[in-house]
């Protein structure tokens, strides 16, 4: 326990120091929102990776998926790295950076408005982000509860409060610059934590080494060492699809492409980010796969207790303290990315874009700082008090990805995407999720499946409707897709 408090103290000092330095670099809107659009490959890559993986993955998904699917749960982590990371950088990073800089689009709704010549699309997409992203921000607190109570012996609410205060402080002070630098520090902690976690779990007495552990899992159930999840392959596929493909269209992930320095930095960041994701994602699910060797049944009948109790059993105190920082880092980096996306959307797309169009840049930055703090507080309140909004947390990833995957991915990659097609994909995607969610009686267990259907609907509707509706003229396409002009010259 002493090590935990020592490491937490050092962690706090580092974060606050970065926040103070970041205040000088975030006075302008571009500085606060994009770090001056001069962020290097290592910081961009780590910022993307740490925003991707939160405590929900480390504690919730890793424990539950490992218990149900065994070693094949590692496919989720691999899918996250290959699709949610590598494919995202290869297909979208350069094009998104070029398009948003040419259009001077600062948020995803702002991009939609200019790509599809529709201010109404900006408003609708901003509302979707606000409704579903704030509950998603609240979900990142959930993975902390039992682990913090187990290791530190203090109530969960104080851990939540600590995380909220620290995130609000450094994000409010320095915006994207501070967030990205702290993400880099948090990423290093996550790498060290995952490596040690895997080593100690594999060499613990219940596992007894890799080959022995695999043999022991097969003796419990041969499906636990199946290549593709055994009889549960469909559930495994849905979860992998949601968490991998869904990342392509989440505003907080796409935002990382806006700020990176140049094409050379993108190439380096692609490799770094993918390697980071393979290690973190696969390492977490691999560790969770051995949960059945530690417990005969789900501890306390709660899947969220598997990883905390497994780690407490397998790890020495110093390593457990580091894992505590790992989970805290993963949660804070995700929370800061989500909150920055939410606050920028509300400030730029709703307040400045609709209510106060003559707002000075200085006031825009001040408003964004205030909203960053406000949204952290709001996410804390939602996570702490049982309300109907909590139900949205399980479906928020699928709802946002379902709404935006078609309009964003097709809009970036396919010049024939029309305004009607984008509207159909956006409304059809989120509508599919809502119909399935309500029709199932808000069955959270089917959230990955419903999210997958919503994303497929979004892309299919966008493309099909675009085939039969009025196309944009060539001048508009050259403006919103400047990379096509560059690619044509290169050929």
Beta bridge partners of 39: 260
Residue 190 has pLDDT above 60, yes or no: yes
d(CA 353, CA 64): 43
Q: What is the pLDDT of residue 389?
A: 52
Token output for 62: 């890793």
d(CA 8, CA 319): 13
d(CA 222, CA 220): 7
Q: What are phi and psi of 39, to 5 degrees?
A: -85, 130
Helices 306-314 and 156-202: crossing angle, nearest 10°?
A: 60
Q: pTM of the predicted model, to two decimals?
A: 0.87
Higher-pLDDT residue of 114, 23? 114
Q: What is the pLDDT of residue 407?
A: 95
Domain extents in the chain: 2-386
Listed range (132-136, 180-184, 388-392) with the worst mean pLDDT: 388-392
Higher-pLDDT residue of 403, 166? 403
Nearest to 119 by CA among 129, 132, 109: 109
R_g over Cα of the chain = 22
Q: Write down the mean pLDDT value for the chain.
A: 83
Q: What are phi and psi of 260, to 5 degrees?
A: -70, 150
For tokens 């207790």, name the residue.
Answer: 305
Q: What is the pLDDT of residue 486?
A: 64
Percent share of the chain, pLDDT over 90: 29
Contact present, 116 and 422 (Cβ < 8 Å): yes
Q: What is the pLDDT of residue 189?
A: 82
Q: What is the pLDDT of residue 390?
A: 54
Q: What is the pLDDT of residue 451?
A: 92
CATH topology for 2-386 is Sodium/glucose cotransporter (1.20.1730)
Highest mean pLDDT, choosing among 16-20, 106-110, 180-184, 391-395: 106-110
Q: pLDDT band at residue 146, thresholds of 50, 70 and 90?
A: low
Q: What is the pLDDT of residue 30?
A: 62
Token output for 428: 């059809």
d(CA 181, CA 268): 17
- pLDDT, tens only, 111-142: 999 999 998 998 899 889 888 887 777 777 76
């Amino acid at each position: 326990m002493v090590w935990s408090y020592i490491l937490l103290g050092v962690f706090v000092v580092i974060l606050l120091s970065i926040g103070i330095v970041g205040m000088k670099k975030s006075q302008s809107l571009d500085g606060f929102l994009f770090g001056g659009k001069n962020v290097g490959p290592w910081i961009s890559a780590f910022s993307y990776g740490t925003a991707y993986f939160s405590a929900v993955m480390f504690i919730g998904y890793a424990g539950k998926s490992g218990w149900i699917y065994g070693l094949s749960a590692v496919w989720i982590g691999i899918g996250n790295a290959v699709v949610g990371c590598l494919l995202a950088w290869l297909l979208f990073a350069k094009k998104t950076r070029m398009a948003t800089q040419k259009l001077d689009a600062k948020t995803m709704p702002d991009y939609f408005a200019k790509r599809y010549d529709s201010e109404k699309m900006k408003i609708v997409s901003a509302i979707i982000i606000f409704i579903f992203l704030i509950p998603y921000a609240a979900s990142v607190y959930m993975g902390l509860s039992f682990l913090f109570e187990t290791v530190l012996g203090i109530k969960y609410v104080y851990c939540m409060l600590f995380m909220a205060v620290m995130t609000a402080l450094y994000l409010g002070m320095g915006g994207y610059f501070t967030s990205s630098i702290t993400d880099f520090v948090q990423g290093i902690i996550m790498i060290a934590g995952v490596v040690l976690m895997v080593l100690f779990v594999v060499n613990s007495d219940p596992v007894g080494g890799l080959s022995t552990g695999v043999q022991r899992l097969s003796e419990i159930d041969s499906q636990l060492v199946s290549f593709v999840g055994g009889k549960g392959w469909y559930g495994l596929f849905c979860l992998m699809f949601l968490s991998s493909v869904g990342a392509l269209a989440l505003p907080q992930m796409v935002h990382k492409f806006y700020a990176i320095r140049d094409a050379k930095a993108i190439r380096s960041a692609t490799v770094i980010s993918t390697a980071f994701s393979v290690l973190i994602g696969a390492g977490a699910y691999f560790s969770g796969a051995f949960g059945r060797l530690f417990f005969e049944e789900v501890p306390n009948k709660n899947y969220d207790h598997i990883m905390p109790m497994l780690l407490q059993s397998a790890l020495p105190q110093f390593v457990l303290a580091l894992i505590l920082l790992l989970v805290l880092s993963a949660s804070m980096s995700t929370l800061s990315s989500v909150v920055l996306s939410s606050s920028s959307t509300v400030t730029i797309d709703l307040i400045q874009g609709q209510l106060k169009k003559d707002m000075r840049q200085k006031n825009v930055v001040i408003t964004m700082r205030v909203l960053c703090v406000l949204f952290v507080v709001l996410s804390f309140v939602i996570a702490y008090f049982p309300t109907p909004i909590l139900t949205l947390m399980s479906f928020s990833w699928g709802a946002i990805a379902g709404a935006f995957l078609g309009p964003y991915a097709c809009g970036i990659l396919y010049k024939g995407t029309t305004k009607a097609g984008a509207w159909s994909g956006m409304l059809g995607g989120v509508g599919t999720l809502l119909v399935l969610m309500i029709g199932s009686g808000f069955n959270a267990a089917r959230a990955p499946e419903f999210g997958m259907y919503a994303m497929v609907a979004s892309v299919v509707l966008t493309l099909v409707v675009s085939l039969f509706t009025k196309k944009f003229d060539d001048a508009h396409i050259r403006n919103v897709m400047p990379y096509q002009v560059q690619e044509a010259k290169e050929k």
